[in-house]
Chain A
Amino acid sequence: MEAYTKPLPIPDIDSQPFWDRCKAHELAAQCCHDCGKFRWPPQAFCPHCYSWKFDWTKLEETGTVCSFVVVHYVSIPAFQDDVPYVVAHITLDGTDNRVTMISNVIECPWQEVKVGMPVRVVFEDVTPEVTLPKFRPAGRME
């Protein structure tokens, strides 16, 4: 297998559990222990009620594309072989619209990506240490 040359995330103390769970092929976000609301990106306290108590909660594996771009021009050479590729804002189901992640929509021609499209997570083990959660159209290959 060729060495992975693209940038890898550097987790911090707030985000480490998210990346650990990705490695275990589980999508999760913090949910406030007091008000029960989800939040994204990870942070130590609730932006709704300012409680410091939270749980990492497993999310549904599906979501909706709420917007996207298609990258044809790259600044970082390691992405050159991927163009055109889709980067989307994906709102995860069951989070009351409070968890919208940015990720790639894969296994789909870029011309067919639409706002409102349902997608499902795919875990890509890009290195032995790092797994990136990506998304493909829901309903395909199921």
Chain B
Amino acid sequence: MPEQPIKDKTAIVGIGWTAFSRKSGVTTLTLAAEASLKAIADAGLQVQDIDGVVSFYHRQPEGQMVRELVRALGLKKCNFEFYSDGGGGWNCGAVLSGAMLVHSGICKNVLVFKARNRYSEGRAARAERANDVKGDAQFTTPFGIHHAAASFGPIATAHMARYGTTTLDFAHLAVTERSHAALNQKAMMRKPITIEDHQNSRWIIYPFRLLDCCQESDGGVALVITSAERARDLKHAPVYIMSGMGGQGQTAGLWETNGANSAPLLYEGAGITPRDVSIAEIYDPFTFMCMTHIEDFGLVKKGEIGGWVTAGHNRLDGDLPVNTHGGLMSEAHIHGLNHVIEAVQQLRPEGVVDDLCDGPHTYDRSKCRQVRNPEVALVCGECGESAMLLRRA
């Protein structure tokens, strides 16, 4: 496979976010607008420079829809709006859609956002899943599958049976992600946890305990994509989009996700190998899902992830720091678009701006979450249904 023609032709030039909480107290439109205006200002652009807007949702439109934001921002001219299904699988798909709009020439500067009151409004709506009994759901809902842990748990159980992965392995990932979140001012869960805390936490849906599950959140994030050419004149050093993919295929078995299909597209598209990846911001609705994604993207040999996370290779000073912000597990669940924000922060010359460092980054892990000189970041969505490689300028 040749390199993708879009390689390095577009860049993420602005990022913004709101506070993450369990009760925003504002509408999703307000969350979307706050994050978007911050991202546009961060890019050094004016609101009217935005001529494309992209977001995504899960199954039914949830969170803030695109058209209302386009209207609220008062955009005089929007050349393309795109609001697509794909859920947690689509964080990178949304970013790549924006990059394609720029690369095609349809848009100059595309805003990609996700804003939701998933805790304050979403939890109350959970029982409505009982009405989801058509299509594929006619074969799941009546049998008691109403929670993501029940949908994704079988992937973990199958991996455990095939490779001997244990719930104790899961604990190491949870503890490491929390330690990263402790160094993240915007993370919702910053109190350190231990292996024992994990193992003593109650079962939610076996093989997942409470501390295997991500949280639900209110909040918004946004980013701005423009061409590599225009990016050079803007406020921050660009973070280039090297390659990407979005879609799903069939896998060898339950123990493997679509990441295994995505990985060759990604690496060959960028002209690099998994060894070139410096950091990975990996979709982590449950501890194990993050673990299988790491394997399926070729970052760790299939079946060996348990020992790898137990050895701490995913820590900030490890071989491959993973979820340096704390992930969905400990930072917040903004549908994984927050993972893209973290990758951009890590790849900018000034590094992350919301750890506990007062001045320049010290790499003192009681304060600093900046990884030392990362060059390439891999970001992926649920089951590797979209993914991309980013690089620093």
| A75-B127, A115-B157, A115-B161 known; A70+B143 contact, CB < 8 A | no
Q: Is the CB of A77 within 8 A of B144?
A: no
| Residue interface mask B207-219, A partner, CB < 8 A = 1 | 1100000000000
Q: Is the CB of B133 within 8 A of A9?
A: yes
Please indicate the chain A residues that have their CB under 8 angstroms from the CB of B106 in the complex: none
Please indicate the chain A residues that have their CB under 8 angstroms from the CB of B141 in the complex: 7, 9
Determine which of B132, B144, B158 lies in contact with A82 in the assembled complex, contact meaning CB atoms within 8 Å: B144
B248 smallest CB distance to A (angstroms): 14
Q: Is the CB of B138 within 8 A of A67?
A: no
Determine which of A8, A11, A87, A101 lies in contact with B144 in the assembled complex, contact meaning CB atoms within 8 Å: A87
Q: Is the CB of A102 within 8 A of B145?
A: yes
Please indicate the chain A residues that have their CB under 8 angstroms from the CB of B153 in the complex: 68-69
Q: Is the CB of B129 within 8 A of A69?
A: no
Please indicate the chain B residues that have their CB under 8 angstroms from the CB of A75 in the complex: 126-127, 129, 146-147
A-B contact count, CB below 8 Å?
109
| Residue interface mask A67-102, B partner, CB < 8 A = 1 | 111111111111100101101110000000000011
Q: Is the CB of A115 within 8 A of B158?
A: yes
| Residue A110, interface by CB 8 Å | yes
| A7-B131, A72-B202, A73-B205 known; A67+B158 contact, CB < 8 A | yes
| Residue B196, interface by CB 8 Å | no
Q: Is the CB of B144 within 8 A of A85?
A: yes
| A69-B206, A71-B150 known; A76+B129 contact, CB < 8 A | yes
B285 smallest CB distance to A (angstroms): 14
Q: Which residue of A lies closest to B151 (CB)?
A: A69
Please indicate the chain B residues that have their CB under 8 angstroms from the CB of A36 in the complex: none
| A70-B203, A72-B202 known; A6+B129 contact, CB < 8 A | no
The A-contacting residues of B in range 129-171, CB under 8 angstroms, are 129-136, 138-147, 149-150, 153-155, 157-158, 161
Q: Which residue of B lies closest to A11 (CB)?
A: B138
Distance between Cα atoms of A79 and B140 in the complex (Å): 13
Distance between Cα atoms of A41 and B138 in the complex (Å): 10
| Residue B73, interface by CB 8 Å | no
Chain B positions within 8 Å of A, measured between CB atoms, are 126-127, 129-136, 138-147, 149-150, 153-155, 157-158, 161, 202-208, 254
Q: Identify 6 new A-B residue pairs, CB closer than 8 A, beyond the known A67-B254, A73-B205, A104-B143.
A: A10-B134, A12-B134, A12-B138, A66-B254, A71-B205, A115-B157
A-B contacts, 17 listed (Cβ < 8 Å): A7-B132, A7-B133, A8-B142, A66-B158, A66-B254, A67-B161, A68-B153, A68-B154, A69-B208, A71-B205, A72-B203, A75-B146, A84-B203, A85-B144, A87-B150, A102-B140, A132-B143
